[in-house]
């Protein structure tokens, strides 16, 4: 297409884009106009006088054709031209950045690698480089994790494990800032895995008027490949907990294929499931679960075994670092009535050394039974009355207890426990819970995932419904609902559980709430308030919502202990126990401590800087900006590296610092914050190892490269179009330039237009018999 | 009302006389009867011959005249009385041993529980009073994780019943065994051994948490109509007193009797108070541990 354009219009489209149109005729315009009129008017008059066999339509057409031909000629007399600012040969500089990363080794160009293109096209002997050097002083850089000057493409080894494209472009710009710079050429596949925001870098380039010419190497879509693109997994988990990870799998050429997805914990297989790759889908999410019982930092590998004839063999696995904590989540269970739920829930978690359920059981008005407390003082005055006291717990279970039991402040505290402290709240069903317990209009109502409305309901008017539980689509892969064992899936297990009953009518859930287990009235079941018989009724059995920093869960049934005790439940069935252990682990797994340490990213190539972040709060979980925060990074060899963390100013309570791991392996980073209310600490883990991030999304990223070029005033090229690069850069108006004139009157298209018009007139005459 | 009270008093006296006689008989025949009693249980009665058979089919369940069905299950705490087959420990108007003190003991106990604790148990709904009566092999039993068994002297569970009760207890159920004199110990122990062959009853000291779950109960203050040497025995998971308590037996004791007569003055306030305190402690403990 471009060649045809150039054949007809003499120049490439880029010339027309860059040039300014002008007329170069030396004769004054008025004279030309008069001459044109002198020619045109007699012609028109002649045409209109001649009658003969011609009609008015014939005369009009012939006149138009003749006038058009004359106008073309007159236009040519004006000497139309393009004025172009072209770089003065060899007075300007260009930076040529060559991608030296490992992804350039991928052979997706008819069996040849991307690196081959770079060597062939920009090697020391290449024509393109020679043409560039005819016009510019060329400075070659190679880039990957870092960038450096290079003599030619021959110096590239394509070994680097990171591509920091944006950093490299910015670095080259700074390097060439003192010289007249016409532009920067980037030859890459577009894989940028730096942490630098692209928008900021593009803004800087645009502000300095440096056009970036991007050359995209590689295919935009592999013909046959499976890639484990991303794994979303919690970074922390309680020992023995169920890890739920969302794995994004991309494929091309494997529509509908079933492949195994294997999860390994430090080399040991902990989960395996067969997944079917969706037809016509570029990327499909897969949810996998695995139980982790070994404490400490666990390196989990999610991999799909290499399939036949895959184009890229290095992108079938992703690794994530998960910290399995062996600490004890302390949970306060406040129960308003001695009832079976207490007995069975406590029994379910009793053997779990990572959960401590402290029971505050109201046995009579003003009389409480405390169980599992750490000291005689704990809860001695009943339910906590201060935030400091309540926030010692990571979770709260609200049993069958009416809202009126609490003061307004305590209810507000409970809501803050979820939203501010980030704790987990689980509310159980019962005659004194939810709407029936008078929670409508209380500060806690906002935190609940279900809508509570109306006044408290007396016992005699309590709603009642038999509920058969079933997993919802959201619940299928959720950490809480994974009660399956062996070959029995969670869905099958839930379907086999006995019905339960509810005395809490749930009419609506909150807009952001997610139902994990839904209940419906089974055949022959009852539902309705006294005097009412509902034939169909459904309500959530397990529903949750995020509320602020924490989680609020509602289990509005009164006897889920039937899942343990029911006659049809096998004696060794652990569904109920597993459900509650997972529930309590889940709601407390992300509960923040007073100092929360985090590394970004938590896996890097050796000698790559890592950002450390710490959020520090006081005992009421209010951010603290005056803490003295420091960290010590302990290398696998035991070497210690101190890191100072400073308040980030941007955000209350956030502190940041940087450290660079020098060894390979897992670093233990302990962050300590000294606050007015004492010293608090947290530990996080960082892994330094050669990573294969280069092969993630390794197809050529045309949209990204196109955007970089467009936003900086450059152009995007493929190997097929890169031949015009030297001329295009020359027209960028950057650096030392000279204005050149490009005549347009001799364009072949002008000649063709004249011949066409005259031929059309002649042909029309012949057709109408006027010749 | 007076006539009814007299009738009940006469019934109780007759029953106590029966107990004394039966006690003597049992003392003499204990060794001789120990072996065959299980086999006889399959036929529905401790005493061979026609005495029990004349009351009806020994493999059927007696229906107390005040029983009008079980309350529909609604999730509330409901007192569950275990019934067994036959007519063992028959006592005139009160029927076989398992039905002794029904329904007054059940109703009174649940009323006290409702008044004293934060529980809202089932007490009465129309003609249905006290709670539920369930057989050991009835799946409905699993809806009542706390159950009460009266007069185990007449209880001879068959294999199905023993297996069902074992499942019930191992899954989380809790059993209160009450109202049996010393001479019925062997029968009761044999039945429980049939249910939980690996477990042995452990005599309780009175310092166990169950005696301090709601009231601070002093087991030495509990008086028994059966005389001295009353006490409490427990069956623990793996015979380990630090583990879960499956069942408690009121040996040589009858707290149900005190519940029954608490409203009529035939039992002193102190006695009925202690009985209620024990019962409430049992419930609160069973519901929280």
Contacts of A564 in chain B (CB under 8 A): 171-172
Residues 481-540 (A) with a CB less than 8 A from some CB of B: 501, 503
Measure Cα distances from B169 to A317, A740, B175, B245 in Å.
Answer: 49, 100, 8, 9
Three state DSSP letters for A380-400: CCCCCCCHHHHCCCCEEEECC
Hey, what are A643's tokens? 């890191």
Q: Using the beta-carbon criterion (under 8 Å), do B173 and A565 form an inter-chain contact? A: yes
User: For chain A, which residues score pLDDT lower than 50?
Assistant: none
For chain A, give the number of residues: 771
Closest CA to A709 of A214, A218, A217, A220: A214
Chains A, B: CB contacts within 8 A come to: 86
Contacts of A342 in chain B (CB under 8 A): 287-288
**What chain B residue is nearest to A342 in terms of C-alpha separation?**
B288
**What chain B residue is nearest to A569 in terms of C-alpha separation?**
B171
Model ipTM value: 0.84
CB-CB contact of B84 with B138 (8 Å): no
Cα(A617)–Cα(B66) distance, integer angstroms: 65
**What chain B residue is nearest to A339 in terms of C-alpha separation?**
B287
Q: Does A346 touch chain B (CB under 8 A)?
A: yes
Query: What pLDDT was estimated at residue B28?
Result: 33
**Strand (E) or helix (H) holding A466:** strand A464-471
Contacts of A371 in chain B (CB under 8 A): 288-289
In sequence order, the β-bridge partners of residue A602 are: none
Q: Give me Rg for the CA atoms of chain A.
A: 37
Q: 3-class SS at A609?
A: coil
CA B228 to chain A, closest CA, distance in angstroms equals: 32
Contacts of A362 in chain B (CB under 8 A): 118
CB-CB contact of A456 with A442 (8 Å): no
Closest CA to A94 of A215, A217, A216: A215
Cα(A642)–Cα(A693) distance, integer angstroms: 28
* Superfamily holding B2-288: Domain of unknown function DUF4159 (3.40.50.12140)
Closest CA to A122 of A695, A710, A725: A725
Total Cβ atoms within 10 A of residue A616: 28
Using CB atoms, pick whichever of B75, B167, B170 lies closest to residue A503.
B75
Beta A550-555 vs A424-428: how paired, if at all? parallel
Hey, what are B50's tokens? 């026609």
CB-CB contact of A537 with A506 (8 Å): no
Using CB atoms, pick whichever of A362, A503, A565 lies closest to residue B171.
A565
Q: Using the beta-carbon criterion (under 8 Å), do B284 and A567 form an inter-chain contact? A: no
Query: What pLDDT was estimated at residue B31?
Result: 31
Contacts of A401 in chain B (CB under 8 A): none
Contacts of A566 in chain B (CB under 8 A): 142
Encode pLDDT of B124-157 as tens digits: 999 999 999 999 999 999 999 999 999 999 999 9
Cα(A758)–Cα(A760) distance, integer angstroms: 5
Query: For A281, how many CA atoms within 13 A lie in the half-sphere containing its CB?
Result: 14
Q: Evaluate the CA torsion angle B22, B28, B32, B35 in order and state its sign.
A: positive
pTM for this entry:
0.76
Hey, what are B33's tokens? 């009867």
In sequence order, the β-bridge partners of residue A212 are: A184
Query: What pLDDT was estimated at residue A301?
Result: 96
Helix axis angle for A114-122 and A127-135, nearest 10°, is 50
Cα(A210)–Cα(A182) distance, integer angstroms: 7
Per-residue DSSP letter, A758: H
CB-CB contact of A734 with A209 (8 Å): yes
CA A545 to chain B, closest CA, distance in angstroms equals: 27
Contacts of B244 in chain A (CB under 8 A): 347
Cα(A221)–Cα(A702) distance, integer angstroms: 10
Strands (E), A253-366: 258-265, 268-276, 283-291, 296-303, 317-325, 329-335, 355-364
Per-residue DSSP letter, A266: T
**What chain A residue is nearest to B146 in terms of C-alpha separation?**
A340
**Strand (E) or helix (H) holding B171:** helix B159-171
Q: Using the beta-carbon criterion (under 8 Å), do A363 and B117 form an inter-chain contact? A: yes
Cα(A666)–Cα(A672) distance, integer angstroms: 19
Cα(A230)–Cα(A723) distance, integer angstroms: 37
Q: What are phi and psi of B35, to 5 degrees?
A: -70, -50
Q: What are phi and psi of A524, to 5 degrees?
A: 80, 0
Q: Does A461 touch chain B (CB under 8 A)?
A: no
**What chain B residue is nearest to A362 in terms of C-alpha separation?**
B118
Cα(A123)–Cα(A187) distance, integer angstroms: 12
CB-CB contact of B182 with B226 (8 Å): yes
Which single residue is written with the structure tokens 């809806």?
B143
**Strand (E) or helix (H) holding B113:** helix B104-116
Q: Using the beta-carbon criterion (under 8 Å), do B284 and A363 form an inter-chain contact? A: yes
Residues of B with CB under 8 A from a CB of A: 73-75, 77, 116-120, 139-143, 145, 167, 170-173, 213-214, 244, 283-284, 286-289
Query: What pLDDT was estimated at residue B234?
Result: 98
Query: What pLDDT was estimated at residue A487?
Result: 63
Total Cβ atoms within 10 A of residue A281: 12
Q: Using the beta-carbon criterion (under 8 Å), do B142 and A565 form an inter-chain contact? A: yes
Q: Using the beta-carbon criterion (under 8 Å), do A343 and B75 form an inter-chain contact? A: no
Domains of chain A: 2-86+740-768 (no CATH), 92-220 (3.40.50.410), 225-325 (2.60.40.150), 329-588 (3.40.50.880), 595-688 (2.60.40.10)
User: For chain B, which residues score pLDDT lower than 70?
Assistant: 1-55
Using CB atoms, pick whichever of B73, B140, B172 lies closest to residue A343.
B172
Q: Using the beta-carbon criterion (under 8 Å), do A565 and B287 form an inter-chain contact? A: no
Mutation test of the interface with chain A: which of B73, B74, B75, choosing the one with the most A Cβ atoms within 10 A? B75
Q: Using the beta-carbon criterion (under 8 Å), do A565 and B145 form an inter-chain contact? A: yes
Q: Using the beta-carbon criterion (under 8 Å), do A343 and B143 form an inter-chain contact? A: no
Hey, what are B66's tokens? 């005040």
Encode pLDDT of A297-355 as tens digits: 999 999 999 999 898 999 999 999 999 989 899 999 999 999 999 999 999 999 888 99
Contacts of B142 in chain A (CB under 8 A): 562, 565-567
Cα(B17)–Cα(A644) distance, integer angstroms: 88
CB-CB contact of A460 with A427 (8 Å): no
Which single residue is written with the structure tokens 């009665």?
B45
Measure Cα distances from B286 to A339, A397, B148, B260 in Å.
Answer: 9, 20, 12, 22
Hey, what are A406's tokens? 């609490």
CB-CB contact of B152 with B97 (8 Å): yes
Q: Does A449 touch chain B (CB under 8 A)?
A: no
**Strand (E) or helix (H) holding A629:** strand A628-634
Hey, what are A663's tokens? 């060894």
Using CB atoms, pick whichever of A339, A367, A571 lies closest to residue B171.
A571
């Amino acid at each position: 297409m471009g060649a045809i354009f150039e054949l007809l219009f003499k120049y490439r489209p880029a010339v027309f884009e860059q040039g300014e149109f002008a007329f170069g005729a030396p004769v004054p315009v008025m004279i030309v106009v008069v001459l044109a009129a002198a020619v045109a008017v007699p012609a028109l008059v002649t045409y209109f006088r001649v009658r003969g066999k011609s009609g008015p339509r014939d005369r009009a057409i012939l006149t138009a054709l003749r006038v058009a031909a004359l106008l073309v000629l007159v236009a040519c007399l004006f000497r139309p031209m393009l004025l172009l600012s072209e770089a003065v040969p060899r007075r300007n500089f260009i930076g040529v950045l060559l991608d030296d990363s490992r992804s350039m080794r991928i052979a997706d160009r008819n069996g040849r690698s991307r690196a081959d293109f770079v060597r062939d096209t920009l090697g020391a002997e290449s024509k393109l480089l020679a043409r560039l050097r005819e016009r510019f002083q060329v400075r070659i850089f190679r880039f990957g994790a870092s960038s450096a000057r290079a003599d030619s493409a021959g110096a590239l080894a394509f070994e680097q494990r990171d591509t920091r494209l944006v950093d490299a472009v910015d670095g080259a710009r700074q390097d060439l800032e003192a010289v007249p710079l016409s532009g920067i050429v980037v030859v890459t596949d577009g894989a940028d895995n730096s942490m630098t925001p692209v928008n900021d870098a593009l803004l800087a380039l645009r502000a300095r008027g440096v056009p970036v010419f991007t050359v995209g190497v590689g295919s935009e879509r592999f013909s046959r490949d499976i890639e484990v693109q991303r794994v979303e997994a919690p970074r922390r988990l309680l020992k023995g907990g169920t890890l739920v990870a969302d794995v994004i799998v991309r494929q091309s050429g494997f529509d509908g294929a079933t492949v195994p997805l294997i999860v390994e914990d430090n080399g040991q297989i902990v989960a395996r499931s067969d997944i079917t790759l969706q037809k016509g889908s570029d990327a499909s999410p897969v949810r996998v679960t695995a139980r982790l019982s070994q404490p400490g930092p666990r390196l989990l590998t999610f991999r799909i075994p290499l399939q036949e004839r895959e184009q890229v063999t290095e992108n079938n696995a992703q690794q994530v670092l998960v910290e399995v904590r062996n600490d004890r989540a302390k949970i306060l269970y406040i129960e308003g009535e001695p009832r079976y739920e207490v007995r069975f829930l406590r029994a379910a978690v009793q053997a779990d050394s990572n959960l401590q359920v402290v029971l505050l059981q109201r046995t009579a008005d003003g009389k409480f039974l405390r169980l599992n407390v750490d000291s005689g003082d704990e809860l001695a005055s009943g339910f906590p009355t201060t935030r400091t006291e309540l926030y010692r717990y990571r979770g709260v279970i609200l049993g069958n207890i009416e809202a009126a039991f609490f003061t307004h402040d305590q209810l507000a505290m409970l809501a803050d426990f979820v939203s501010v402290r980030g704790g987990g709240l689980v509310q159980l069903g019962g005659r004194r819970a939810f709407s029936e317990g008078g929670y409508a209009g209380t500060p806690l109502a906002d935190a609940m995932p279900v809508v509570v409305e109306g006044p408290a309901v007396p016992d005699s008017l309590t709603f009642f419904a038999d509920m058969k539980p079933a997993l919802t689509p959201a619940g299928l892969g959720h950490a809480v609902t994974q009660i399956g064992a062996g070959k029995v899936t969670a869905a099958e297990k839930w379907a086999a559980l006995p019905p339960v009953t509810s005395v809490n009518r749930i009419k609506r859930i909150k807009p952001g709430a997610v139902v994990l287990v839904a209940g419906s009235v089974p055949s022959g079941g009852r539902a309705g308030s006294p005097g009412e018989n509902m034939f169909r009724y459904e309500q959530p059995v397990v529903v949750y919502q995020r509320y602020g920093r924490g989680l609020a869960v509602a289990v509005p049934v009164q006897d889920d202990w039937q899942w343990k005790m029911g006659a049809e439940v096998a004696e060794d069935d652990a569904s109920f126990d597993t459900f509650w252990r997972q529930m309590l682990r889940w709601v407390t797994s992300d509960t923040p401590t007073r100092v929360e340490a985090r590394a970004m990213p938590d896996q890097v190539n050796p000698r790559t800087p890592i950002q450390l972040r710490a959020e520090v709060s006081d005992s009421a979980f209010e951010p603290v900006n005056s803490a003295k925060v420091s960290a010590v990074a302990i290398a696998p060899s035991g070497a210690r590296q101190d890191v100072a963390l400073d308040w980030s100013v941007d955000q209350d309570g956030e502190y940041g610092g940087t450290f660079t791991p020098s060894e390979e392996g897992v670093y233990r980073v302990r962050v300590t914050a000294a606050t007015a209310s004492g010293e608090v600490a947290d530990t996080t883990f960082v892994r330094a190892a050669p990573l294969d991030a280069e092969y993630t999304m390794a197809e050529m990223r045309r949209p990204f490269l196109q955007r970089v070029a467009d936003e900086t005033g450059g152009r995007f090229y493929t190997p097929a179009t890169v031949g015009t690069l030297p001329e295009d850069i020359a027209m960028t108006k950057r650096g030392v330039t000279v204005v050149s004139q490009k005549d347009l009157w001799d364009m072949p298209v002008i000649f063709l237009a004249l011949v066409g018009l005259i031929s059309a007139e002649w042909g029309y005459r012949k057709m109408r018999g006027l010749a | 009302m007076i006539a009814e009270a007299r009738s009940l008093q006469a019934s109780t006296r007759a029953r106590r006389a029966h107990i004394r006689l039966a006690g003597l008989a049992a003392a003499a025949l204990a060794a001789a009867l120990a072996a065959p009693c299980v086999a006889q249980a399959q036929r529905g009665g401790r005493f061979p011959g026609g005495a029990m058979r004349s009351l009806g089919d020994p493999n059927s369940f007696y229906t107390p005249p005040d029983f009008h069905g079980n309350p529909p299950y609604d999730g509330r705490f409901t007192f569950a009385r275990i019934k067994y087959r036959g007519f063992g420990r028959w006592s005139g108007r009160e029927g076989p041993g398992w039905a002794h003190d029904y329904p007054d003991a059940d109703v009174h106990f649940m009323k006290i529980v409702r008044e004293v604790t934060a529980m809202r148990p089932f007490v009465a709904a129309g003609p249905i009073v006290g709670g539920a009566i369930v057989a050991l092999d009835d799946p409905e039993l699993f809806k009542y994780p706390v159950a009460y068994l009266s007069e185990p002297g007449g209880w001879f569970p068959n294999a199905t019943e023993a297996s069902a009760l074992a499942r019930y207890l191992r899954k989380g159920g809790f059993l209160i065994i009450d109202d049996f004199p010393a001479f019925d110990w062997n029968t009761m122990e044999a039945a429980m051994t049939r249910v939980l062959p690996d477990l042995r009853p452990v005599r309780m000291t009175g310092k166990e948490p169950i005696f301090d779950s709601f009231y601070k109960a002093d087991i030495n203050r509990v008086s028994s109509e059966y005389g001295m040497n009353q006490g409490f025995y427990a069956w623990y998971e793996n015979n380990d007193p630090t583990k879960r308590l499956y069942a408690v037996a009121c040996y040589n004791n009858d707290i149900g009797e005190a519940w029954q007569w608490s409203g009529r003055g035939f039992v002193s306030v102190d006695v009925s108070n202690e009985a209620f305190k024990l019962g409430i402690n049992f419930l609160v403990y069973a519901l929280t541990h």
